[in-house]
Amino acid sequence: MDDWSREAHVPADLADRALRRRSHRRLGTAVIAALATAAVVTSVALVVPRFGPHDPVATPARHEVIHLAPAHRPPAKVTSGVDTEGGILTDTGNSPPQKMLAAGRVAVSAYWTGRRHKTGNGGETFDRTWYLLDPVTRTYRKTPWAYLDVAPGLRYAAVLEKTLPARRIGVLDMETRKVLAWIPVDRPVGGIAWSPDGTRLLATAYDRDPDGDSEPHTECPPGSGGEAPVEGPGSEDHPPIPNMIGTSRTGFYVIDVAAADAGDFHAVDPCAAESSPWNTRRDFQWSTDGSLVYEWGVSTERPALFYDLGGRPHDPPSPDSLVLSRGSQAGVSPDGRLLAGPAGLPTAVTELSTGKVVGSQQVLQLLAWADDDHLIGLGCAGTCGNEFNNGLVLVSVDGRKSLQLAAFRKNTQKPGSWEPVLTLR
């Protein structure tokens, strides 16, 4: 009503204009009064619509609780110089890093360290400690959150409070370090992921801690997608073995962040995809264009399953299905021509249209595309005598150029080792 009252007003010179028209049109005093009265009545109808017979003329198109700044387009190229848009930022002297790591389109927006510890009921859980980028100082700062994800543009983070699963989701301004709004959910959630356009959140719901003990196990009924196939000679004569799953995942929300509204909950059968008693965290992920969500398959026989944003099963889109079936983490290049291969020393990049190998890289894994000609990968120290002694590197598609971005981690299997989160700048 306050907004309408500012929009609707009687012109200050209404009477003067009416008097000027009188000499031309010979309007009477009664007509002038009627004009003024009509204008006042119209103004009142706009300010207080419940007293008028019609709906308000102007209504907000969309109710926004959070006024999100538009996400910047990521830099197109890796550039030299720390202050250029796609500049290379390194910190090879600290592990975990203290200064911002970035190259081209991608930056390390956060990282976490994890340890298992005992719970009050005699079980165990895996607890993460998160360090979030401060885009102003270009450093990483410790946070109190149990789980988080960073939106493209490095301006906002979605956060979950300890302990998981959480009953509300916070939207954090990374520059001010203040929570802009809390979004309540009816079903507690344990995982969150920003959409590719940075306007929505995909929140995965769980009944129990997704990083805790897998008990109690659930047996998937016969005929469900959670059955494990019997392999070996004569397997065609035996029915599949019922699969025991340990996850408490129940479904997901697609959240309109600006409106701070969780919307409808979409239930998904945990037995729809093959799993195991130890695979308790099964977060949903976004498709490349943000039109679908999916969950990873655990084998080539059980590919990833896709759902529309209403929770209904959907055919796998291309090239997402190709990327997932080939185990590619980096996926397709920004220009859509090349596909990064799966983990394994050495890695390879193929031409998407022909399948021809166009480059091989002496790294353990390709994690993200820095631009059309470079990737961020996981390189191993020295001559790769120990695959668990590794760190982030920038490598060219042809494999001829490589630059160390972060200090090598001496043992990634050791508790407390840091794990990076890569996000578009």
Cβ neighbours of residue 65 closer than 8 Å, sequence gap 6 or more: 181, 258, 259, 260
Average the pLDDT over 183-194 and give the result: 98
Q: What is the DSSP string of 104-143?
A: TTEEEEEEEEEEEEE-TTS-EEEEEEEEEEETTTTEEEE-
Structure confidence at residue 229 (pLDDT): 47
pLDDT tens, residue by residue, 370-414: 999 999 999 988 878 788 889 999 999 999 999 999 999 887 777
Determine the average pLDDT of the residues in 221-245: 55
Query: What domains can be seen in the chain, in order of their start residue?
Result: 2-51 (no CATH), 144-321 (2.40.128)
Query: Which residue did the predictor score with more confidence, 327 or 62?
Result: 327
For residues 365 and 380, the answer to whether their CB atoms sit within 8 Å is: no
Long-range contacts of residues 29-35, Cβ cutoff 8 Å, at least 24 apart: none
Amino acid 144: pLDDT: 97
The amino acid sitting at 149 is D
Which span out of 106-115, 269-278, 311-320 was modeled with the highest average pLDDT? 106-115
pTM of the model: 0.80
DSSP 3-state of 406: strand
Q: What is the pLDDT of residue 223?
A: 56
Task: Give mean pLDDT, residues 95-106.
Answer: 96
Residue 397 confidence (pLDDT): 98
The C-alpha atoms of residue 106 and residue 279 are separated, in whole angstroms, by 29
Q: What whole-number percentage of the chain has pLDDT above 90? A: 59
Residue 335's pLDDT is: 96
| Residue 307 clears pLDDT 50, i.e. is over it | yes
Rounding to the nearest 10 degrees, give the CA dihedral for residues 207, 210, 211, 212: 30
User: What pLDDT score does 215 carry?
Assistant: 62
Q: How confident is the model at residue 1 (pLDDT cuts 50, 70, 90)?
A: very low
Does residue 212 have a pLDDT over 60? Answer: yes
pLDDT band at 331 (very low <50, low <70, confident <90, very high): very high
Higher pLDDT, 301 or 65: 65
pLDDT bin (cut points 50, 70, 90) of residue 237 is low
Q: Bridge partners of 297?
A: none
pLDDT in tens, 31-58: 334 434 444 333 333 333 333 344 444 5
Per-residue pLDDT at 179 exceeds 70: yes
For 384, residues 6+ apart whose C-beta sits below 8 A from its C-beta are 345, 362, 364
Q: State mean pLDDT over 235-247.
A: 62
> Hey, which bits of 165-206 come out as E strands?
166-173, 178-194, 200-206
- What is the DSSP secondary structure assignment for residue 272, as one 8-state letter? G
Can you give the pLDDT at residue 154?
97
- Mean pLDDT, range 206-232, rounded to an integer: 68
**Which of 169-173, 232-236, 358-362 is least confident?**
232-236
And the tokens for 283? 């977060």
First and final CA of the chain: distance in angstroms? 40
Q: Specify the pLDDT at position 347.
A: 96
The mean pLDDT value of the chain amounts to 83
- pLDDT tens readout for residues 9-38: 444 444 444 444 444 444 344 433 443 444
Tokens of 103: 């190259």
The residue type found at 146 is A
Residue 80 has pLDDT above 90, yes or no: no
Amino acid 302: pLDDT: 63
Percent of the chain exceeding pLDDT 70 equals 77
Taking alpha carbons only, the member of 139, 68, 129 closest to residue 102 is 139
Mean pLDDT of 241-257: 85
